[in-house]
Amino acid sequence: MRYPRVVVAGLASGVGKTTVATGLMAALRRRGLTVQAFKIGPDFIDPKYHTAATGRPGRNLDTWIMNRRQVKTLFSKAAAGCDVSVIEGVMGFLDGANSLGRTSTYDVAKLLKTPVVLVVDVNAMMETAAALVKGASELSGEVKIAAVILNRVAGPGHEKACRRAVEKHAKIPVIGAIPNSQEMNLPERHLGLVP
């Protein structure tokens, strides 16, 4: 596939995937790029945020409801004519309908041969963040975790320690850090953020 794209994944639900993905979409649009947004799974709430950020209808990529060819076709048709596609993951990166990760973010990233930016909630951890990232990277096989974004960072010292640990032990660059802030804590429900 020739379409520029990235998957925004997390190690679990509630780590900040929607916030990061939607922010990335909006930032790319502000730079003058045409952005196509996708959400893995049947979620109907997050694509509304994506539509607001990109000015284009968000699409769902669901390997439970659609067969693999349909997912590829839907992606290709929606991504055509866009500068970049941002695909927001679902649940934990490797978590799906069975132990092989079917229907997972990993499954879709592998199917579409897409690199992953992993959002890691580092609240109350430092070295453990590196262990989690390294473990996810080792289990992801053919799917490349290209970068990490730290979320819920307590301050500059915490960011520096987490960044150093992840880059040293997991050998994956940290490309951003989001401070822990009450303003950033958005209410959630079963499918994600409350609109």
Q: Is residue 193 part of a domain?
A: no
Residue 97's pLDDT is 84
Amino acid 70 reads Q
pLDDT given at position 33: 99
Residue 118 phi, psi dihedral angles, 5° rounding: -100, 120
In a domain, 192, yes or no: no
141: left (phi over 0), alpha (psi -120 to 50) or beta: left
What is the residue range of 20's domain? 5-187
Q: Are 150 and 122 in contact (CB under 8 A)?
A: yes
State the CB neighbour count (10 A cutoff) for residue 20: 22
Pairing relationship of beta strands 188-189 and 192-193 according to DSSP bridges: antiparallel
pTM: predicted TM-score of the whole model, two decimal places: 0.93
Domain contains 52: yes
- Do the domain assignments include residue 194? no
Q: Is residue 32 part of a domain?
A: yes
pLDDT (0 to 100) of residue 104: 95
What was the pLDDT predicted at 99? 74
Cα torsion through 140, 145, 151, 154, rounded to 10: 100
> In residues, how long is the chain?
195
Ranges of residues in the chain whose predicted pLDDT is under 70: 1, 100, 182-195
pLDDT at 185: 63
In a domain, 195, yes or no: no
| CATH number of the domain enclosing 123 | 3.40.50.300
* Rounded distance between C-alpha atoms, residue 83 and residue 100, angstroms: 32
The number of distinct structural domains making up the chain is: 1
> How do residues 25-44 score in pLDDT, each as one tens digit?
999 999 999 999 999 999 98
